[in-house]
Amino acid sequence: MAEAKKAYTRDMNYVPDRITRDARRPEHGPVAGELWPVEPGRYRLVAAAACPWANRSIIVRKLLGLEDVISLGMPGPVHDERSWTFDLDPGGRDPVLGIERLQEAYLKRLPDYSRGITVPAIVEESTGKLITNDFRWITHDLFHEWKEFHREDAPDLWPVRLREEMDEVMERIFTEVNNGVYRCGFAGSQDAYDEAYDRLFTALDWLEERLTDQRYLMGEAITEADVRLFTTLARFDAVYHGHFKCNRQTLAELPALWGYARDLFQTPGFGETIDFDQIKRHYYVVHTTINPTQIVPKGPDPGAWLTPSNRG
């Protein structure tokens, strides 16, 4: 194997359909697939609590008050090579879609689909067909396209005046932190791991400095950028520090980031979406090449997340 191929690269090819108001062309982002209309009660968000990419969609749905507008199906934390499964539901079937595997919704839409079965995914309830699994645009569109159905006090997750800077911050968070922990964990060589490790902690040092003098990433209010960083931080000490060898420091040893993460955890819409048992089972059981014994660690103590953050 060539050295360059030993560095982890995420497959970023997703079903590119988007759900927009009246199936209009969106103002931001690509339109590489079909456009579907916003319609309450038509779609089901399938999102596993274990997965950080899915977790962000669960949080945004809660923050915007869309629980009665878009239903939520939650697969269990452990899956095989074929698909996420609904083993937490009675009879092992999603109660709305009636399927055992998320793969069934993918194949109903795309019979020859051969890529990974990922969450989050949005499925049309009436047909059971996948609409999109492009996590990059799912939360963006929940904010921009479903505004008519947001609760009255929903936060402004995408402030217009901060959009340009926020895009830059979120891009760095994605490449260096969200995906950076995976580059460490799935590195195929020492050199690839060392480079990934250095990039990750350079970014965490930047975030530590940024959050030392301001409460949230973009200032004094929560934005989508905070949602995207939080889901990685919530998994850092429980999984990434040991399992992915991101072990220069624990999150709890980074004062600003640890206070910031607890502040968000204790904010309605965030902490109640975190299930540390499911998170640990997913990573330590599914990743058998990294953890062949499939032993799940007992710690760390989740009670630490409820200690005062002193960020207000």
Decide: 225 and 178 in contact? Cβ < 8 Å.
no
pLDDT at 2 over 50: no
Q: What is the pLDDT of residue 73?
A: 98
pLDDT above 70 coverage of the chain, percent:
98
Among 3-7, 178-182, 292-296, name the one with the lowest average pLDDT: 3-7
pLDDT at 78 over 90: yes
Q: What mean pLDDT comes out for the span 224-237? A: 98
Cα 153 to chain centroid, rounded: 24
- What confidence tier does 4 reach under pLDDT thresholds 50, 70, 90? low
Q: What is the pLDDT of residue 11?
A: 87
Residues of the chain with CATH 1.20.1050.10: 161-306
Cα 156 to chain centroid, rounded: 19
pLDDT at 19 over 80: yes
Average pLDDT, the chain: 96
Specify the CATH architecture of the domain 18-149: 3-Layer(aba) Sandwich (3.40)
Among 68-72, 122-126, 194-198, 308-312, name the one with the lowest average pLDDT: 308-312
Q: What is the pLDDT of residue 21?
A: 97
Q: What mean pLDDT comes out for the span 18-38? A: 95
Q: What is the pLDDT of residue 176?
A: 98
Q: Which residues are catalytic?
A: 51, 182
Q: What is the pLDDT of residue 284?
A: 98
Q: Selecting from 1.20.1050.10, 3.40.50.720, 3.40.190.10, 3.30.1960.10, what CATH number does the domain 161-306 have?
A: 1.20.1050.10
In a 3-state reduction of DSSP, which class is residue 131?
strand
Give the whole-angstrom CA distance, residue 65 versus residue 169. 25
- Give tens-digit pLDDT for 173-216: 999 999 999 999 999 999 999 999 999 999 999 999 999 999 99
Strands 43-46 and 35-37: unpaired
- Would the pTM of this model clear 0.75, i.e. be above it? yes
- What confidence tier does 80 reach under pLDDT thresholds 50, 70, 90? confident
Nearest residue to 146 via CA among 279, 241, 22: 22
Residues of the chain with CATH 3.40.30.10: 18-149
Strands 121-124 and 43-46: antiparallel
- What confidence tier does 1 reach under pLDDT thresholds 50, 70, 90? very low
